[in-house]
Amino acid sequence: MLDDIDRILVTRQQIARRVAELGQEISRDLDRLCDGDEFVMIPVLTGSIIFVADLMRQIPKKVRISPVMVSSYPGGATTSQGVAIIGELPDDLAGKHILIVDDILDSGSTIKVLREALLERGARSVRVCVLLRKDIPEAQEVSCEYVGFDIPNEFVVGYGLDYDNYYRNLPDVAVLKKEMM
């Protein structure tokens, strides 16, 4: 697996430091925002599994987690093919504060579609936390409360992010060699 990598873009140490900061920031905001209301984290599967596992342990609050599955890059595609929410969203979100957790903000369609759908279900507030945001106008224009790292417009893998469902178990965020894609 390591032979397939061109270079590391964000190291596991940088990720750990930043996730701790994000956890503190989110916890502070929740103190202000929630005031006894319920707080639900909605990780977007599958890419956010590792991020959300680390992030939620940096948020010492009473929280439920309710994953959703969204498909935007089926199989080996590296450009967005349109977004679909797979399965049903929870139907008990009215009045709750929601934090969407995703691996990366690219075209922004995933976040736009989900935020809209959650507000439609009566969520009290919907905030978004992404580990990575690509340096492209579409991604920069989507409102997103918490961003781990801004990265160049390259296809990345690792720390949950995949290419054709591989490389999610890389501990760092890396760029694949061209011949691997």
Per the DSSP assignment, residues forming a β-bridge with 44 are 68
- Name which of 149 and 166 has its Cβ closer to Mg ion: 166
DSSP β-ladder status, 64-65 and 39-45: parallel
Write down the least CB distance from residue 122 to Mg ion, Å. Answer: 29
Query: Active site residue: 54, 102, 103, 106, which one?
Result: 106
Binding of ligand IMP at residue 72 (CB under 6 A)? yes
Burial 110-131, CB ≥16 within 10 A → b, else e? bbbbbbeebeeeebbbbbbbbb
- Name which of 14 and 80 has its Cβ closer to ligand IMP: 80
Q: How far apart are CA 87 and CA 68, in angstroms?
A: 8
Binding of Mg ion at residue 47 (CB under 5 A)? yes
- Name which of 23 and 47 has its Cβ closer to Mg ion: 47
**Among 9, 19, 39, 47, which residue sits at the site for ligand IMP (rule: CB under 6 A)?**
47
A 10 A CB-CB count for 136 gives 14
Q: Look up residue 131 and give its two tokens.
A: 């580990």
Q: Which stretch binds ligand IMP (CB under 6 A): 2-10, 91-99, 101-109, 120-128?
A: 101-109
**Would you please indicate which residues are annotated as catalytic (active-site) residues?**
106
